[in-house]
Chain A
Amino acid sequence: MTANNQEPIIILKDVCKSFGDFQALHNINLEVNKGERIVVCGPSGSGKSTMIRCINRLEEHDSGTIIVSGRKLTDTMKDIDAVRSEVGMVFQNFNLFPHLTVVKNLILALKLVRKMKKAQAHEIGMGFLKRVRIPEQADKYPSQLSGGQQQRVAIARALCMNPEVMLFDEPTSALDPEMISEVLDVMIDLANDGLTMICVTHEMGFARSVADSIVFMDHGEIVEMKPPKEFFENPESDRTKLFLSQILTH
Chain B
Amino acid sequence: MNLEFDLILESIPRMLTGIGVTLQLLVLAAVLGLVLGVILLLMRISGRRYLSFPAFIYAYFFRGTPILVQIFVIYHGFPQFEFIRDSVFWVILREPFSCATLALTLNSAAYVSEILRGGYLGVERGLHEAGMALGLKKHHRFFYVTTPIAIRLAIPAYSNEFISMLKATSLASTITLLDMTGVARTIVAQTFAPYEIFISTAVIYLVITTIFQRGFGMFEKRMSRYIRQ
Q: Restricting to A110-158, which residues have a CB under 8 Å from any CB of B?
A: 112-113, 141-144, 154, 157-158
Q: How many A-B residue pairs have CB under 8 A?
A: 77
- Indicate if B64 sits at the interface (CB-CB under 8 A): no
Tell me the interface secondary structure of chain B in the complex: helix
With A98-B149, A98-B227, A143-B227: A56-B133 Cβ-Cβ less than 8 Å: yes
How many chain A residues sit at the interface, stated as a range, is: 20 to 34
- Indicate if B126 sits at the interface (CB-CB under 8 A): yes
Selected from A81, A91, A97, the residue in CB contact (under 8 A) with B135 is A81
- Indicate if A109 sits at the interface (CB-CB under 8 A): yes
**Which among B126, B226, B227 has the greatest number of chain A C-beta atoms within 10 A?**
B226
Residues A58 and B149 in contact, CB atoms below 8 Å apart: no
**Which among B132, B134, B136, B226 has the greatest number of chain A C-beta atoms within 10 A?**
B134
Residues B228 and A113 in contact, CB atoms below 8 Å apart: no
Residues of B contacting A161 with CB < 8 Å?
134-135
Q: Closest Cβ of chain A: how far from B222's Cβ, in Å?
A: 11
Q: Restricting to A17-59, which residues have a CB under 8 Å from any CB of B?
A: 56, 58
Q: Closest Cβ of chain B: how far from A130's Cβ, in Å?
A: 20
CA A110 to CA B226, docked complex, whole Å: 22
CA A142 to CA B225, docked complex, whole Å: 11
Residues of A contacting B225 with CB < 8 Å?
141
- Indicate if A228 sits at the interface (CB-CB under 8 A): no
Residues A95 and B129 in contact, CB atoms below 8 Å apart: yes
- Chain B residue with minimal CB distance to A58? B129
Residues B130 and A97 in contact, CB atoms below 8 Å apart: yes
Q: Closest Cβ of chain B: how far from A96's Cβ, in Å?
A: 7
CA A184 to CA B225, docked complex, whole Å: 31
- Indicate if B152 sits at the interface (CB-CB under 8 A): yes
Residues A157 and B134 in contact, CB atoms below 8 Å apart: yes
Residues B134 and A113 in contact, CB atoms below 8 Å apart: yes
Q: Closest Cβ of chain A: how far from B112's Cβ, in Å?
A: 21
- Indicate if B137 sits at the interface (CB-CB under 8 A): yes
Selected from B130, B131, B132, B149, the residue in CB contact (under 8 A) with A99 is B149
- Chain B residue with minimal CB distance to A142? B226
Residues B126 and A93 in contact, CB atoms below 8 Å apart: yes
Q: Report A57-101 CB contacts with B as 1/0, cut-off 8 Å.
A: 010000000000000000000000111111111010101111111
| 21 A–B pairs (Cβ distance < 8 Å), ordered by A | A56-B133, A81-B135, A83-B135, A87-B133, A91-B129, A95-B126, A97-B130, A97-B145, A108-B144, A109-B135, A109-B136, A112-B136, A112-B137, A113-B134, A113-B135, A141-B225, A141-B228, A143-B227, A144-B228, A158-B134, A161-B134
Q: B residues engaging A (CB < 8 A)?
A: 124, 126-127, 129-137, 140, 144-145, 148-149, 152, 225-228
Smallest CB-CB A-B distances: 5 pairs: A85-B135, A95-B130, A89-B133, A141-B226, A109-B134
